[in-house]
Amino acid sequence: MIEVQIVGVRVEMPSNQPLVLLKELLGERHLPIWIGTPEATAIALAQQGVVPPRPLTHDLLCNIVTALGRTVVAANITAVEDGVFYAQLVFDDGTQVSSRASDALAVALRVDCTIWCAEAVMDEAGVRITDHDDVEPESISSPEADERELNRFRKFLNDVEPEDFEK
């Protein structure tokens, strides 16, 4: 498994399809996952630290897990089949629950757990964005580096179609 982080959520034009972009921590590959609008909103809100006045679905799930005395310790992207990504939420007692990738990511952001991606998934659906002009290793996690990386990905998206990720 490869540890990844969420770079951001974007709406791909002209299809108006949202996607979440993951990046491997110790490498240059990115994993774009096309997701639904509600999931994109849930991920973006969590990334921005927005706490709604009433719990949204992912917040409710996290509250239930906590109320039951459990903790989500990891979100694993486990497979991709015909462009559909599969995931699992892993709990502190070793229990694993199947999930859509977008839901697992939305929960992972809320509980601040590690996100992992199976190597086979990254090999099949990952893309390498190699334009690292001024990005130094020490600044990878800085807001400026994140913004530069997101801008490089936006440039990449201008020329890519979902069909480019099909075998």
What is the rounded CA–CA span in Å between residue 104 and residue 115?
Answer: 9
What pLDDT sits at residue 136?
Answer: 38
Which of 70-84, 108-122, 128-142 comes out lowest in average pLDDT? 128-142
Q: Which residues contact 3 (CB under 8 A, 6 or more apart)?
A: 24, 25, 26, 114, 115, 116, 117
Region 2-165: CATH code: 3.10.690.10
Domain locations in the chain as residue ranges: 2-165
Average pLDDT over residues 43-56: 90
pLDDT at 143 over 70: no
pLDDT at 139 over 70: no
Buried b (16+ CB within 10 A) or exposed e, 1-33: ebebebbbbbebeeeeebbbbbbbeeeebbbbb
- Predicted structure pTM score: 0.76
| Confidence category of residue 164, pLDDT binned at 50, 70, 90 | low
Tens digits of per-residue pLDDT, 4-28?
A: 999 999 888 777 889 999 999 999 8
Average pLDDT over residues 77-91: 96
What pLDDT sits at residue 135?
Answer: 39
| Confidence category of residue 158, pLDDT binned at 50, 70, 90 | low
Average pLDDT over residues 31-58: 91
